Amino acid sequence: MANTYLQRTNQTADWIQNFSISIWFKKGKTGTTQYIYSNYQDANNRAYINILNDDRIYIYDREGGYDRQEMTSNFKLRDTNAWYHIFFWCHARGGGSGGSLNDRVKFYVNGVDRINDFSIVLPYGYNADSGFQTGTLSNGNRIGSDPNGNNTFDGSMSHIHFLDNQPTYDVDSFGETDATTGEWKIKTDVSVTYGTNGFFILKDGNSVTDQSGNGNNFTVGGGTLTNTEDCPSNVFNTLSPIDKPVNSSGSGASIPDLSNGNLTITNTNSAFREVRSNFYVSTGKYYFEAKPTRIDGSGAFQVGVVARNYSQGSGERRAYQNNGNKYVSNSSSYGATFTANDIIGVALNLDDGEITFYKNGVSQGVAVTDMLSGIDDTGWTPAVNCYDADGHLNFGNGYFGTTAVSTPGTNASGNGIFEYDVPTGYTALSTKGLNL
C-alpha to C-alpha distance for 413 and 422, rounded to whole angstroms: 9
For the chain, the domain total comes to 2
Q: Is 55 helix (H, G, I), strand (E, B) or coil?
A: coil
Domain co-membership, 210 together with 296: no
Q: Judge contact between 389 and 376, C-beta under 8 A.
A: no
Write down the pLDDT at residue 6: 95
C-alpha to C-alpha distance for 332 and 116, rounded to whole angstroms: 58
Which element (helix H / strand E) includes 119?
strand 118-122
Domain co-membership, 277 together with 424: yes
Q: What is the dihedral of CA 168, 207, 34, 400, to 10 degrees?
A: 140
pLDDT for 137 beyond 60: no
Domain co-membership, 95 together with 216: yes
Domain co-membership, 172 together with 264: no
Domain of residue 289, CATH code? 2.60.120.920
Q: Judge contact between 35 and 144, C-beta under 8 A.
A: yes
In tens, the pLDDT along 57-112 reads 999 999 999 999 999 999 999 999 999 999 999 998 899 988 998 899 999 999 99
Number of H helices, E strands in the chain: 2, 28
C-alpha to C-alpha distance for 274 and 164, rounded to whole angstroms: 47
Write down the pLDDT at residue 398: 94
C-alpha to C-alpha distance for 322 and 389, rounded to whole angstroms: 11
In tens, the pLDDT along 245-262 reads 655 434 445 678 898 889
Domain co-membership, 182 together with 307: no
Among 143-147, 222-226, 310-314, the minimum mean pLDDT is found in: 310-314
Distance linking the first and last C-alpha atoms of the chain: 29
C-alpha to C-alpha distance for 394 and 400, rounded to whole angstroms: 6
* In a domain? residue 26: yes
Q: Which of 177, 200, 222 is the last residue of a domain?
A: 222
Burial 159-184 (b: 16+ CB within 10 A, else e): bbbbbbbbbebebebbbeeeeeeeeb
Domain co-membership, 269 together with 396: yes
Grade residue 25 by pLDDT with cuts at 50, 70 and 90.
very high
* In a domain? residue 231: no
* In a domain? residue 235: no
* In a domain? residue 41: yes
Domain co-membership, 66 together with 201: yes
In tens, the pLDDT along 172-192 reads 999 999 998 899 999 999 999
Domain co-membership, 322 together with 411: yes
Q: Which of 222, 242, 266 is the last residue of a domain?
A: 222
Q: Which of 175, 198, 222 is the last residue of a domain?
A: 222
Can you name the residues that pair with 383 across neighbouring β-strands? Answer: 276, 304
Domain co-membership, 27 together with 98: yes
For 145, the domain range is 5-222
pLDDT above 90 covers a percentage of the chain that reads: 69
Domain co-membership, 73 together with 14: yes
* In a domain? residue 229: no
* In a domain? residue 251: no
Domain of residue 95, CATH code? 2.60.120.200
C-alpha to C-alpha distance for 180 and 199, rounded to whole angstroms: 32
Neighbours of 204 (CB within 10 A): 12
* In a domain? residue 373: yes
* In a domain? residue 392: yes
Nearest to 25 by CA among 35, 38, 17: 35
C-alpha to C-alpha distance for 359 and 227, rounded to whole angstroms: 26
pTM of the model: 0.90
